[in-house]
Structure 1
Amino acid sequence: MTLQNAYLLIRTVQICSLEGKRNKENAPKTVDKWVDDPYLKNSSLYRDTTLDLYVTCTLYSDSKPLIQPEHTSYNPFSGSNKWDETIIFPLKHQDLPFDTMIVITIWDIYSPTKKVPIGGTSFNVFGMNKIERKGKHKLLVWQDREGDGETDTSTPGQIQGKDEQYRLEKLKKKYDRKLINHCQWLDKYTINEIEKISRSSDSLNKNRIYLTIELPEFELPVLFKQQNCSLYKPLQLHAKKSLVLINDIEMDEHPSEQKYHRLNLYDHKDLKPNLTELKGLTDILKSPPNTRVASKDALLIWRFRYYLTTNKKALTKFLRCVEWSESHQKNEALSIIPKWEPIDIADSLELLSSAFTHQNTTNVRRYAVDILRKADDEELLYYLLQLVQATKYEQYDGNINDSPLISFLFERSSKNFTLGSHFYWYLTVDSVLKTSSFCSLYKTLQDTFFRQLDPTDGLRINQQNNFVSRLSTLSVELKAMNFPREKKIEKLRHMLSEGSYKDLSDFPPIRLPVNPDIEIVGIVPEKATIYKSAKSPLGLKLRTTKGEEYGIIFKTGDDLRQDQLIIQLISLMDRLLKKENLDLKLTPYKVLATAEEDGIVEMVNPSEAMASVLSKYDGEILKFFKTHNPDSESPYGVAPDVMDNFVKSCAGYCVITYILGIGDRHLDNLLLTPNGKLFHIDFGYILGKDPKILPPPMKLCKEMVVGMGGENSKHYEKFKQLCCEAYNILRKSSHLILNLFALMADASIPSISEDKEKSILKVQEKLQLELTDQEASNSLLLLLNESVSALFPVMVEYVHKWYQYWRS
């Protein structure tokens, strides 16, 4: 049996309603019966109004049940006997035999321990023309008996008759299936008259009940296809006749099905779409990645698959249309992949997602990995976090060579320590997550990877582990001390210089986990501090082999995985913008989670929170810049490159934080450097979540605009121009951004995993992919104006400022 050869759906039946009157001729009629059986009074065996019914439904073939009966919920009826409840069978349409029969029984809850049948009915799924029945059907219910699934059933549901009422019923059935043209103004009067005739008809209503069911409808007919048939089939006739029916192979299929197979299953390589079909294909290919392809669209893509092989954007859509459990579709798909125009790395990430986990898709994932090999180590590092998450979708049985992605990651990470270090720590964090069901997998991968490292790299990883472990223990000890912050800082410096953690002030070179390109040789005790925060993070200055100092913040009790993800995406977007020759002077500092609630953050020095800057410099950002980088010849007394840095970085972060839906933006998590660069920290709220009421769509406060010279300045005009340019560049890379988010869907990051589909849709909505570049620019400019003129965020900022004051 074939259903558009795209999506073979699970069989469903909707139980709609029960109508008519029961035959009470056999019902008990004396009060004595009620006394003997107290349940009788409230049973539908006696009462006209049914009280407590449910329906069982199953499928029969060759007089045998195909599955166990499914049933509706118990329905306490009052007035109208309507269920409107769908029963789902664990069978696909393609698996139904030709003689499949739906067998239904209506049950009455006679007593707490007894049920009695109100009646039963049976209905053939396929008609004589091999087309599966669809739409609404009114079935005769044979009273006081269960539905019969025998081949020659005793409870046929088809209503038989020759009078006017039956003729009208047949016409109404055709009307419901849209086999009769609809006329809106006339139909409502006609249907009302038919209903009046039905209610007054003795032939249909006298002591009879009927059950209305609704079968699923599809865009194309569902046709039965004989899988194994003998050439000759004897026709069972009377003994005196010896007629034999010969099965004509050429006429075994419906003509429309034959045409479908000719167009779709064979190598019709020269088939080209007409203008309408071409427009349809274009619209499908414009849809975002990870979008479910509708059955109608799947047919169109499958039909013109050879025509689409020159379009590299079409391959992922085509592979999503394949029913991988069907051998002929699988073989056809795998044979056509090598002929397709090679796809981009951004699109290959989609083929590593959860949509391709079937055992027959291993070669698809292998193809994606082959595309991924084109990325150099620097580019691969931007995708590594998501690729580690994608390993959970691999068919892994302990042998890494059987998994294309895992073997590739092991190979590349073993050859480059910077890549290998990040790979190891990503595996480490996922191996200890309490909320993940893949801990054992990641622990196995971590151990296997460590064993494959050469001795030098293995020693470096051990050194990193020891360093992180010592910092974690130190942080926990300090938190446990019941001292004021100043006393804790004094204690910290003593522990590093002369106390039990003196070993951390001087040690052999260690590759710093958060930035393996840096070699550190010790912590500077006198510069160690503890920041004002509920988590009491440690601020540490590290001595490097180059004689410079490198600042880090070590946090315990704080899940940094979300910050790590956002910083990775900001770094990626910075790279995408620079590839288009647009350097917006971003500051994507480094973040590395080392455990579920431990991690390291790179310190950006020198930098200061905007709240502090405004407090010290009379609420003017320009005074801050003049103090550090004055230039008397420039219009605002600030060095031109400083103003340039400020305008560009404001534009970059405004657009990126808007796309990612970064929330909880206040002047304490916006930082400024003396050379004019603005950057954001603390990404606890993403994808539109925000603890504040009515947050602005973009974090662009009036102080920032004044810092550019005001709304009428050339710098502010340049700022708006850069915002629009950056926005459209990132929209062009939407496939990459959305695919990376999709791979994080099962990463157990609460903001994403609590509603996976909506998380991706929120980013997709911000990208406004349906708009042209000009329309997108206009939309963004409206958001900028709205953010600058918003009054409520100013009030919230004022409240936040006082809250921070009293907390300190």
Structure 2
Amino acid sequence: MEEYSFAKSTDVDISVHVRIASLDGPYDPPPLSTLLQRPDLRFIGSNTSPYSDLYVTVQLWADSKPWTVPVQTAYKSFKNARVWNEWLELPISISTLPQSSQLAITVWDVSPTGGPGAKGHAIPFGGTTIPVFDKDGVLQRGQQRCCIYRHKEADPYSSSTTPSSPPPKRSRTPTGRLAGQVPTADEVELERLETLFKKHEVGEIPRVDWLDQMVFRAVEKKRQEVEASAKLALKASRSLKGKHSTREGVAEQDGGDGSDDHGSKHTLIVEFQRFDFPIVYTDFEYSPTPISFMPQQSMAGGNVNLKPPPEVQFGPGINGVENGLEGDDVNAPPLIRIYDPEVGQKDNPAESKHRRLVRSHRTGVLDRDLKPNAKIRDELNTIMSYGPTQELKGEEVDLVWKFRHHLTKDKRALTKFVKSVNWQDLNESRQAVQILPKWTEIDVDDALELLGPTLDNPAVRAYAVDRLRESDDDELLLYLLQLVQALKFEKISSDDSTQDSSLAKFLISRATKNLVLGNYLHWYLMVECDDRSPDQSKDHQKLFAKVEYDFMSELMQVPDGPERRKILLRQGELITVLSKISKDVRFSREDRPRKAQRLKKMLADPKNELTSFDPPLPLPLDPSVSVVSVYPEDAMVFKSSLFPLLINFKTTEGKKYPVIFKTGDDLRQDQLVIQIISLMDRLLQKENLDLRLTPYRILATSPTAGVVQFIPSISLAAAWAKHKGSILAYLRTNNPDATAELGVRSAAMDTYVKSCAGYCVITYLLGVGDRHLDNLLLTPDGHFFHIDFGYLLGRDPKPFAPAMKLCREMIEGMGGPSSRLFTKTFKQYCQTAFTTLRKQSNLILNLFALMVDANIQDIKLEPDKAVLKVRERFALGVSEEEAIRGFEAVVSESVGSVGAVVIDRIHDLMQGLRA
């Protein structure tokens, strides 16, 4: 098929225009005998002059209903022809036209005495009705010849009696000759010209204005001659047969109306708008009918007038009759799908009715004195022990609501109470808000749960923010990453202010008072503003931009605000320069040594302004450290596909601060893992358990770049190869002590065992994957730590990977699987760390819940299951003894895992092939 281009009518937002061109037809005054019988006809304008003053009205109708008011042509005095050439604009857009639209066009004459159909002194000269869309649903365009029905006003109804192109009762040629009669040569030529005119109208024949006018006049003269000859031939034929038409005689007496047999003598030339493409009618696609949650009226009592059952109609987007059965049986009975308004309702109507009866507000005063008995108290204690992800059952919800006043003394009960409130009920929500100030002060983990995506009540979120105000800046910094993501769940107005958000106001207020908080808040917001991926909505980008703007505005109001804002701008310039250098080094077609030389040269180039920072600049990665320059000669390019850069900054104290700068990689997932590790380290230290963790700093500066703190260390693979397959030999070389156990200084060995235990537990709980000897690092003083958190929440690119990375190389550094350090000390540290963190599981789960909408690689894959995967590792569904036994089984399986050994050997082989 040939290519066919068209436009949809719903996309054409232009008013309907029609041009009234001219009225063609002979001047047939009534005979004198008719004027003697009806003297009123002599005063009609068209009977007194062949070019009397006429005007035209146009009105749009559809489905027998008027859609616009009528519009009319301006007054015009005719001299030689009835020509208006006037465009009329109807007050309706093409995009809103129904397919049944038609124009009712009436030509009005003047009569001082009135007459049939008169409106004041105006009587209809004739009318016609033309559809706006043709039979194929295409918008009419170009010139149209409309048959005028004399002495009739346009009939705009669906079955119009004044169609512009009426179907003939007997088939006639364009000249009026009956079908079956042999056409003359002039008639054949006239039909050919009519076909050419249609091609000319649609642009298939080029336009030449001066030549077109000459041709039009000649053809019109030819048409009149042919029509006159055909009329004489028709009269002669009728006179021979003696069959004069009674209607025709009456028509002549009335002024020559020949419209009854569809052979009207008058034709109105109108013109529609022209477009480059055909305009095809298309209907609007309406969304499905919304589900109604209004309670049904009671039918109880009195005489009820039962109405007949409603007529079944197909809902929006539902197929009517189709062969929906499986298989190829074409004779299968059709399936009819009926729209069910109850589908999609969140609440069970019976349960909703039960809840309204149980929570009758008339008993609200009595609830204050209710005290649970022993059995109910045990049930409430069980409910209070639920984790943040566990849903409450219907009877549990009612129980919490019933004893809400009693539960105000239990800080754990607030989150359960909030879940039991029907926030759509105004009276119930008002009672809930009034009881919030009476509650015992809640913990931070419960406050974070109230800021999650499941609750949007402003009063409850403001209450949670008030609890966060009591946290110091160091504690708030641990949750800042999640609190920035919680802004997505705030009700922030569409204007340029965040005053409606209690959380946004709180973060801005605290960030303006603290340099470190302000630094990280700025960079967290900037990364979200720069995220142009499909997973980040434009509304969220605007939201973070508003918060950043308000933060900058508030910062300018504090005494040192202008200077701090200048620091943030200078940090942005530094990151921009480093990003450019990193991309130039990365995409240069050179080997790694030459890339390193290029890097050193660019760092030393004065144009990049990296040789001196005046005044000293706080690092974006760690604003507590101010730097004055870089060491170009110490720069290095790592062996990796993205070629990360190692850059050493010079601090104000004269020390080196090494960082790794990467482009082409999203570091937000690594940033999240390091933040959780820092939080867990603090939670463990609160319980006097210091596992010597190394939560180095990571800052994503954009969705594709970031800075990482460099910790001088060596991978287990390199240490194992350098010291002939012995990690213990590496520790003994760097920390020799002949008197100590295993020949390693006791402090270094203690650090090694503790850090191994800590990272084994934490990486297991977070489900960190892709663990091999190259991303397990060890410092000379015994600090063991993990890097490269590209796989999280149980994802792993390698099959049969163990749940915990505890390889034989790590155990060999403790003296082997039978040594005291491994069997007692290491396992004891693991068990203590697991139970300690399990007690704080609610806080960790709530932090992950706030990240469900963050554009984190492994969370966005299954955002609804991210929290559940972490919860599964904590084994919250069983008792503490059972959880400990399950964890010990994981440790035992990891020690004897053959898959881990195979994975490490395959990884070493692949690294060798790459080298």
* TM > 0.5 fold call: yes
Q: Which residue in the other structure is 2:680 paired with?
A: 573
| SS of the residue 2:743 aligns to | coil
Asked if 1:403 corresponds to 2:501, the answer is yes
1:63-212 pair list within 5 angstroms: 90-92=291-293, 94=295, 98=299, 103=309
* 1:500 shift after superposition: 4.3
Partner residue, 1:33: none
Aligned residue among 426, 435, 440 for 1:327: 426
Q: Deviations over 1:534-573 (max 9, x none)?
A: 1111111110001000010001010000000000000000
The C-alpha deviation readout for 1:1-54, integer Å capped at 9, x for no partner, is: xxxxxxxxxxxxxxxxxxxxxxxxxxxxxxxxxxxxxxxxxxxxxxxxxxxxxx
1:695-714 Cα offsets, whole Å, 9 max, x none, are 11110001111211122222
1:713 to 819, 823, 841: 819
3-state SS in 2 of match to 1:94: coil
C-alpha distance in 2 between matches for 1:525 and 1:675: 28
Q: 1:104 to 1:690 in 2, by over 3 A?
A: farther
Tell me the SS of whatever aligns to 1:269.
Answer: helix
Answer yes or no: is 1:450 the counterpart of 2:556.
no
Q: Tell me, what secondary structure is at the counterpart of 2:866?
A: helix
Residue from 393, 399, 412 that aligns with 2:510: 412
| Residue aligning to 1:208 | none
Q: 2:803 aligns with which of 685, 697, 701?
A: 697
Find the aligned partners of 1:400 and 1:491 in 2 and give their Cα distance: 46
Q: What is the one-letter code of the residue matched to 1:406?
A: A
The offset of 1:691, in angstroms, is 0.3
Q: Which amino acid aligns with 2:454?
A: A
1:273 to partner: Cα distance: 2.4
Q: Any idea what the Cα deviations from partners look like across 1:777-798, whole Å, max 9, x if unmatched?
A: 2211111110010112101110
Flag the 1:527–1:331 CA change in 2: closer, same or farther, 3 A: same
The CA deviation at 1:340 is: 1.1
User: Any residues of structure 2 matched to 1:344-359 within 5 Å, and which?
Assistant: 344-357=443-456
Q: Distance in 2 between matches of 1:492 and 1:519?
A: 23
User: Are 1:555 and 2:662 counterparts?
Assistant: yes
Q: CA–CA distance in 2 between the matches of 1:692 and 1:734? A: 28
1:94 maps to a residue whose letter is P
Aligned to 1:394: 490
Q: Are 2:837 and 1:735 aligned?
A: no
Q: Which runs of 5+ in 1 are unaligned?
A: 1-68, 72-87, 117-145, 148-210, 225-253
Q: For the residues of structure 2 that align with 1:269 and 1:594, how far apart are their CA atoms?
A: 53
TM-score, normalising length from structure 2?
Answer: 0.62
1:274-423 equivalence runs, <5 A? 274-357=373-456, 361-397=457-493, 398-423=496-521
Quick one: structure 1 residues 521 and 278, their matched pair in 2 at CA, closer, same or farther if it must change by over 3 Å? Answer: same
Structure 1 distance, partners of 2:837, 2:593, is: 45
Q: CA deviation at 1:94?
A: 3.2
Residues 582 and 103 of structure 1, relative CA distance in 2, 3 Å threshold: farther
- C-alpha RMSD of matched pairs (Å): 3.0
Does the CA contact (< 8 Å) of 1:264 and 1:303 recur in 2?
no
Contact 2:701 2:707 survives alignment (8 Å): yes
Q: Is the 8 A contact 2:389 2:868 kept in 1?
A: no
What residue in structure 1 maps to residue 123 of structure 2?
Answer: none
SS at match of 1:584: coil
- Structure 1 residues 299 and 537: alpha-carbon distance in aligned structure 2, compared to 1, 3 A threshold: same
1:409-488 equivalent positions in 2, closer than 5 A: 409-435=507-533, 436-437=536-537, 438-453=540-555, 454-488=561-595
Shift in CA distance, 259/749, structure 1 to aligned 2, threshold 3 Å: closer
Aligned-residue offset at 1:402: 2.4
- 2:292 is paired with a residue whose SS is strand
CA distance in 1, matches of 2:386, 2:913: 51
Compared with structure 1, are the counterparts of its residues 387 and 222 closer, same or farther at alpha carbon in structure 2 (3 Å cutoff)?
closer
Give the Å deviation of 1:218. Answer: 9.2
| CA positional deviation for 1:346 | 1.2
User: 2:511 & 2:320 partners in 1: Cα distance?
Assistant: 67
Alpha-carbon distance between aligned partners in 1 of 2:319 and 2:617, rounded to the nearest angstrom: 75
What is the CA deviation profile of residues 89-121 of structure 1, one whole-angstrom value per residue up to 9, with x for unaligned ones?
71226355648999576789xxx99979xxxxx
Structure showing greater Rg? 2
How far, CA to CA, are the matches of 1:463 and 1:550 in structure 2? 18
The percentage of counterpart residues that share the same residue type is 41
- Conserved 8 A contact 1:648-1:722: yes
3-state SS in 2 of match to 1:516: coil
**1:290–1:350 contact (8 Å) kept in structure 2:** no
* Structure 1 residues 724 and 530: alpha-carbon distance in aligned structure 2, compared to 1, 3 A threshold: same
- Aligned twin of 2:780: 674
In the alignment, the residues of structure 2 paired with residue 763 and residue 264 of structure 1 have an alpha-carbon distance, to the nearest angstrom, of 41
Deviates more, 1:573-582 or 1:288-297: 288-297
CA distance in 2, matches of 1:777, 1:391: 37
Q: Tell me the distance in 2 between the aligned counterparts of 1:113 and 1:544.
A: 71
Cα gap change, 1:303/1:479 in structure 2, threshold over 3 Å: closer, same or farther?
Answer: same
Deviations 1:328-378, CA, capped at 9 Å, x for gaps: 111110111111111011110011111122xxx111111101100111000
Match in the other structure for 2:189: none
Q: Distance in 1 between matches of 2:897 and 2:452?
A: 40
Secondary structure of the equivalent of 2:369? coil
2-structure distance, mates of 1:759, 1:511: 35
CA distance in 1, matches of 2:426, 2:313: 43
Moved over 4 A (4+): 95-108, 112-116, 213-224, 256-260, 504-507
SS at match of 1:315: helix
Q: How many residues align?
A: 595
Tell me the amino acid that sits aligned with residue 585 of structure 1: R
Offset at residue 259 of structure 1 (A): 6.7
1:757 aligns with 2:864: yes
Change (3 A) 1:555 1:218: closer
Deviation per residue, 1:175-223 (Å, 9 max, x gap): xxxxxxxxxxxxxxxxxxxxxxxxxxxxxxxxxxxx9x99999999568
Alpha carbons of structure 1 residues 616 and 304: separation in structure 2 relative to 1, 3 Å = same
Report if the CA contact (8 A) 2:388-2:842 is conserved: yes
Contact kept? 1:334, 1:364, Cα under 8 Å:
yes
Cα distance in 2, alignment partners of residues 411 and 216 from structure 1 = 41
- Closer, same or farther in 2 for the Cα pair 1:661/1:396, shift >3 Å? same
* Within-5 A mapping of 1:468-617: 468-498=575-605, 500-501=607-608, 503-504=610-611, 507-605=614-712, 607-617=713-723
What is the CA-CA distance between 1:773 and the residue it aligns to? 2.8
Equivalent residue number for residue 641 of structure 1:
747
Give the CA deviation at 1:270: 2.0
- Structure 2 unmatched runs, 5+: 1-285, 323-336, 556-560
Q: In 2, distance between residues paired with 1:761 and 1:441?
A: 28
SS in 1 for 2:670: helix
Distance change (3 Å), C-alpha of 1:217 and 1:795? closer
Q: Which amino acid aligns with 1:366?
A: A
Note if contact 2:651-2:657 (Cα within 8 Å) is conserved in structure 1. yes
What is the aligned partner in structure 1 of residue 728 from structure 2? 622
In 1, the alpha carbon distance for the partners of 2:378 and 2:349 equals 21
* SS, match of residue 593 in structure 1: strand
Q: Is the 8 A contact 1:655 1:726 kept in 2?
A: yes
**Change in 2 beyond 3 A, CA 1:806/1:326:** same
CA contact (8 A) 1:308 1:314 kept: yes
